[in-house]
Structure 1
Amino acid sequence: MPAWNIPRYKALTTMDYETQEQRPATKEERAAKKEKARQEAEKVLSERKKEDDAFRANFERLKAERLARESKS
C-alpha cells in the first residue's frame, strides 16, 4: 500500500508514545533516588581510595628498591 494512501490521522496516532508526559516523581521516589546515588558515590570513593592506597604502597616499595640499588653503586 503506498504511503499516500495512509490517512493523516493514523500516521499521527502512531507517535503517541513520544508525546506522553512522565508523571512527576513523588517525594519518596526522589529520596530513594538520592539515597541510591549517595550509596553509589560512597562505593566509588571507597574503591578509588583502595586503588590510591595500593598505588602509593607500590610507589613507596619501588622507591625504596631504587634507593637501595643506588646506594650499592
Structure 2
Amino acid sequence: MTNETLAHSPRLLTPDQRKARDQARRADAEQAMREHEAAQKAFYANKERLKAERLAREAQARGRQRA
C-alpha cells in the first residue's frame, strides 16, 4: 500500500467510539433545534408586535382623516 491509499482509507471506529460520536451528533442536533425554535418564537413575536403597531397607526390615521 502507498501512503496515498492509507490517507484515503476509511477511519475505523470502535463500537464505543461510534456510540460516543452518535451521542455527540444527537446532542448537537438537539441544541440546534432548540436554538432554531427560540429564533422562530422571537421572530414571530416581533412580527406580531410590529403588526399590532402598524394596525394601531393605520387606525389612528383613519381617525384623523374622519375628523
Q: How far off is 1:22 after superposition?
A: 4.3
Taking structure 1 as reference, are residues 47 and 67 closer, same or farther at Cα in structure 2, changes over 3 Å only? same
Structure 2: stretches of 5+ with no match in the other structure: 63-67
CA RMSD, Structure 1 to Structure 2 (Å): 1.7
Q: How far off is 1:43 after superposition?
A: 1.0
| Structure 1, 21-30 or 49-58: larger mean CA deviation | 21-30
Q: In structure 2, how many angstroms separate the alpha carbons of the residues matched to 1:46 and 1:23? A: 31
What pairs with 1:1-73 in structure 2 (closer than 5 Å)? 16-20=2-6, 21-22=9-10, 24-72=12-60, 73=62
The SS at the match of 1:56 is helix
Q: In structure 2, how many angstroms separate the alpha carbons of the residues matched to 1:37 and 1:17? A: 30
Rg larger in 1 or in 2? Answer: 1
Identical residues among aligned pairs (%): 42
Q: In structure 1, how many angstroms separate the alpha carbons of the residues matched to 2:11 and 2:25? A: 21
User: After the TM superposition, which segments of 4 or more aligned residues of structure 1 sit over 3 Å from their partners?
Assistant: none
TM-score by length of 2: 0.76
